[in-house]
Amino acid sequence: MENKSKQGRELVSGVAAESDEHLVREAEKIAVALGRMFPGLCEVVLHDLRDPRHAIRVIENDLSGRQVGDPATELGLARIADPDFPSVVQNYPNRFPDGRPAKSTSIGIKNTEGEYVAALCLNLDISVLSPVTLALSNLVATDTAHGDRPLETLRDRTARELRRTVEELSAQRGATPRSLSRDDKKALVRQLYQDGYFDSRDAAQTIADLLGVSRATVYNYAK
């Protein structure tokens, strides 16, 4: 009788484990689909909370430098420890390892027993949206009376336009100016040179500051 009871418990446990695995596999499809819908913009990570030391099951658009098999984050551990932890933590501020700002949402996934078995996390790189923010700021700007004095000098205006152009070109590559690869920085500098941005006296230094390289490197890239 005892053996039959034990076998019954093992059968139930096996069915539950299979059900949990099926749930996680279905969540994998959602993670992949979401990531491929927002390439280079939103990192999508599926955490398998049944194995917190190797929690990352899927990662699309790797913006944080993590990989499959990496451990769970603090939110994941909190969910494992507390079944009553909020199922959805939405739109909280976050930051990637290289300093880029992010907006994150974490969605907990429970099994039929009410236990968290997985978490689907979205990390939106809001730094690539800075050109849009800049354009909107310019759109809603109002005039200020300064008499005969100009509001800004030609040099200031050129520097502002140069900064905006660098940010826009970087955003097209899914990165901020400083996080661009060496090849992308070189291509960006050459494009700026061809478009005539080097005509300004301080353009090379401005570009160097934006890309996080030396002025000499900028001139070398422009060759």
| Token pair in block for residue 40 | 């280079």
Strand partners for 120: 46, 107
Q: How far apart are CA 27 and CA 35, in angstroms?
A: 12
Residue 60: strand, helix, or coil: strand
* Residue-level pLDDT at 43: 95
What CA–CA distance (Å, rounded) separates 213 from 114?
Answer: 52
How many CA atoms lie within 13 Å of 212's alpha carbon, on the beta-carbon side? Answer: 8
Stated pTM of the model: 0.56
pLDDT of residue 156: 47
Strand-by-strand arrangement of the 56-60 sheet: 56-60, 42-48, 116-125, 101-110, 88-95
Check pLDDT > 90 for residue 70: yes
Per-residue pLDDT reduced to its tens digit, 75-87: 889 999 998 999 9
Average predicted confidence (pLDDT) for the chain: 83
CA distance 81 to 115: 10
Q: For the chain, percent helix, then strand, then coil, each to nearest 5?
A: 50, 20, 30
